[in-house]
């Protein structure tokens, strides 16, 4: 008689990651309601673009690797069985469409190596730009350059994301709240690693001062991850209320809007590669972000429901996003992303009048 597989109880970190995934499925309750600011920008329609839509080139080069479209599937999850399914469906879709992907924080797999498989996707996505992921604050809690190297080697990645999640850590009951001296430690990681490091926020935005410090520390790209998408403050607040604690709303509107972070950071670090994220929902959003200075854009939570179903559903969803980018480029007369970056946008005040 075959022996039944005994499922191990989840560690506290695994349980937290599972709660995060489940809460992020409830889009309305964890999405920042203040908006990204992108709706204030509009393209001028070109009624005579002199282009064949089917010949528009969406390809981009990011961190030295060619993408078929300017999209990074953003870091979301890992560390338990359901997360493995999500990551593999996302990665297989990225392989089919020629996109980039970052995995969720690998701290859980550093702590519990048996769950490393939930992050490993190279067998279904051998060619994609794949990025590992650790919280930068862990460098103040015993993590070293070697841990960063192990995260990348664990999944045969091309580089490493160091995420900055100050607000989330500050309100999370299990949060790590010592961010002192991190700029120097990030610099040491960038200097000693043999692969590129990307720094990203998780929904509160990057300021110009921080962008300059990160550039000087040696990061090769920044994901500005502005306010307007998933609010990890809201996620942690919902976790707390589910455990019987009072509801918190004080910091629901905290952060730099995606549009503002993107525009100001591009001005501050004109030569650094930038990822626009934070409330990206459509191909038009992505086209606007590229015209505002991004090299590529990232989205995560909107893909989650599809990723829980199948690779085909993710491909279908992202295929629609890619088609929307192509439509936007046709309607502004941009045959490629280099031209799109030069297309002016009209900025309007809330009443609809140009500023």
Using alpha carbons, list the distances in angstroms from residue 58 to 71, 233, 276, 298. Answer: 10, 34, 16, 15
- For position 7, what pLDDT does the model report? 56
Coil vs helix vs strand at 147: helix
State the DSSP string of 71-87: EEE-----SSHHHHHHH
Residue 179 has pLDDT above 60, yes or no: yes
Tokens matching residue 288: 């606007």
**How far apart, in Å, are the Cα atoms of 201 and each of 42, 188, 198, 221, 280?**
26, 19, 10, 12, 14
pLDDT at residue 228 greater than cutoff 70:
yes
238 neighbors 231 (Cβ within 8 angstroms): no
State pLDDT tens for residues 101-130: 999 999 999 999 999 999 999 999 999 999
Which band of pLDDT confidence, cut at 50, 70 and 90, is reported for residue 6?
very low
Band of residue 3 on the pLDDT scale cut at 50, 70, 90: very low
Q: Return the pLDDT at 1.
A: 45
DSSP state of 130: E
pLDDT tens digits along 306-319: 999 999 999 999 99
| Whether the predicted pLDDT of 355 surpasses 90 | no
- Residues 336-355, buried b or exposed e (16+ Cβ, 10 A)? ebeebeebebeeeeeeeeee
How does pLDDT run across 41-61, given as a tens digit for each residue? 999 999 999 999 999 999 999
Residue 336 per-residue DSSP state = B
Q: What is the mean pLDDT of residues 230-250?
A: 81
Instruction: Tell me if 238 sits within 8 A of 260, measured CB to CB.
Output: no
> Residue 173 and residue 283: Cα distance in Å, rounded?
37
Distance of CA 98 to the CA centre of its chain: 17
From 22-26, 108-112, 143-147, 289-293, the region with the lowest mean pLDDT: 22-26
- Kindly report the average pLDDT of the chain as a whole number: 92
pLDDT at 249: 84
pLDDT > 90? residue 12: no
Asked whether the whole model's pTM tops 0.75, one would answer yes
Neighbours of 115 (CB within 10 A): 24
Domains of the chain from N-terminus onward: 12-347 (3.20.20.70)
Do residues 273 and 221 lie in contact, with contact meaning Cβ atoms separated by under 8 Å? Answer: yes
């Amino acid at each position: 008689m075959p022996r039944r597989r005994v499922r191990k109880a989840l560690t506290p970190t695994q349980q937290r990651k599972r709660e995060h995934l489940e809460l992020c499925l409830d889009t309305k309750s964890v999405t920042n309601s203040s908006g990204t600011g992108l709706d204030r920008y509009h393209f001028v329609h070109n009624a005579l673009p002199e282009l064949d839509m089917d010949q528009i080139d969406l390809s981009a080069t990011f961190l030295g690797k060619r993408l078929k479209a300017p999209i990074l599937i953003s870091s979301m999850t890992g560390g338990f069985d359901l997360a493995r399914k999500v990551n593999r469906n996302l990665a297989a879709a990225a392989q089919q469409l020629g996109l980039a992907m970052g995995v969720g924080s690998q701290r859980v797999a550093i702590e519990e190596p048996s769950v490393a498989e939930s992050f490993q996707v190279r067998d279904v996505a051998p060619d994609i730009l794949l990025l590992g992921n650790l919280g930068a604050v862990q460098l103040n809690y015993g993590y070293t350059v070697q841990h960063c190297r192990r995260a990348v080697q664990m999944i045969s990645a091309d580089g490493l994301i160091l995420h900055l999640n100050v607000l989330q850590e500050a309100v999370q009951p299990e949060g790590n709240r010592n961010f002192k001296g991190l700029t120097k430690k990030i610099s040491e990681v960038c200097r000693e690693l043999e692969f590129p490091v990307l720094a990203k926020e998780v929904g509160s935005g990057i300021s110009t001062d921080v962008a300059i410090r990160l550039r000087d520390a040696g990061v090769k790209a920044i994901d500005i991850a502005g306010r307007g998408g998933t609010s990890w403050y809201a996620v942690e607040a919902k976790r707390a209320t589910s455990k019987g604690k009072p509801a918190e709303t004080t910091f629901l509107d905290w952060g730099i809007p995606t549009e503002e972070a993107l525009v100001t950071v591009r001005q501050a670090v004109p030569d650094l590669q930038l990822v626009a994220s934070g409330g990206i929902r459509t191909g038009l959003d992505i086209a606007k972000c590229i015209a505002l200075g991004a090299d590529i854009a990232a989205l995560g939570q909107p893909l989650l429901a599809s990723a829980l179903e199948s690779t085909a559903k993710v491909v279908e969803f992202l295929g629609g996003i890619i088609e929307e980018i192509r439509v936007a480029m046709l309607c502004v007369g941009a045959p490629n992303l280099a031209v799109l970056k030069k297309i002016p946008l009209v900025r309007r005040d809330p009443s609809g009048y140009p500023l």
